[in-house]
Amino acid sequence: MSAVLQVEGLEVAYRTRGVRGRSVPVVHGVDFAIAPGETLALVGESGSGKSTIGNAILGLVPAAAGRIEIDGRDVTTMSRSARRGMARTVQAVFQNPYGSLNPWITVGQTLAEPLRIAGRSRPETSERLRWLLDRVYLPHDALDRYPSEFSGGQRQRVAIARAIALDPKLIVCDEPTSALDVLTQAGVLSLLRELQDELGISYLFITHDLAAVREFAARVCVLERGRIVETGRSEEVCDNPQHPYTRELVAAAPVPDPVLQRERRELRLAAERRGAASS
């Protein structure tokens, strides 16, 4: 079974500002693949390069080197017009449900836009809009309302509906729950899992939340400063991390057990002391 997403030797660099701006590498030789219907998590602290990788896959930043294949097509050097044609295959759900939707147009207009661009007729679009709202558990009258009339969780459901409108094979989920409260996070993850079971979507799940990784993703890649330092089944990596950086991430993650939380805090502090002594 061929991969929906294949990333090989990916490198990304940003150019610093100013007349003498220089190229600064931020992603270094990253390799991973996602099978049909699979969820792979990219996890790391802020600045680790995980969102940059997602943006490179979406074509929002250029790759300095390496290869990105989506559904068997090399998109690394694809033109902008050709990348727009990939909207049927790859979509995204971003972190901020408040900023990812246009506040000046209705939900119906937001959801209809990709369908219109894809050439759907008005009757087909109307039927699809009702289907989308049913899939994300929003009432049909949501079509006539504006994003400001919804809660954060409801807005994220609208964003998810927009992402699945054209039946993509891959959705890049960039911190899709980090701006939501705990109960709403659980509801959104449950919805994403349900849609995956129903539609066979693959997810690249970008997050810093190891608890969400353990529950939601089949496999995980741990990123440190733009490099993958550990990869494996999510339960194995979260329960028995091998790399020192992964152990620090696990130790820093909050848990409901106060005894285990204290043990993790002691491990984290010990790691911080070792780091300070070696610097």
Instruction: Work out the average pLDDT over 177-198.
Output: 92
Instruction: Work out the average pLDDT over 196-200.
Output: 96
% pLDDT > 90, the chain = 68
Distance CA 202, CA 194 (A): 12
3-state helix, strand, coil in the chain (%, to 5): 45, 25, 30
Distance CA 221, CA 10 (A): 14
CB neighbour list of residue 68: distance below 8 Å, 6 or more residues apart = 5, 6, 7, 8, 10, 56, 57, 74, 75, 76
Nearest to 25 by CA among 40, 41, 5, 9: 9
Report whether 213 contacts 42 (CB < 8 A): no
Residues for the chain: how many in total?
Answer: 279
pLDDT attached to residue 200: 96
How many separate domains does the chain show? Answer: 1
Report whether 101 contacts 159 (CB < 8 A): yes
Name the band, by pLDDT with cuts 50, 70 and 90, for residue 257. Answer: very low
% pLDDT > 70, the chain = 89
pTM of the complete model: 0.87
Which domain covers residue 247, as residue numbers?
241-279
Whether 273 shows a pLDDT value over 60: the answer reads: no
Q: Decide which of 86 and 218 is more confident.
A: 218
Q: What is the overall mean pLDDT for the chain? A: 88
Is there a domain that residue 209 lies in? no
Is there a domain that residue 36 lies in? no
Beta-bridge partners for 70: 5, 73
Name the band, by pLDDT with cuts 50, 70 and 90, for residue 23. Answer: confident
Is there a domain that residue 259 lies in? yes
Is there a domain that residue 131 lies in? no
Nearest to 180 by CA among 241, 243, 98, 70: 98
Is there a domain that residue 37 lies in? no
Is there a domain that residue 266 lies in? yes
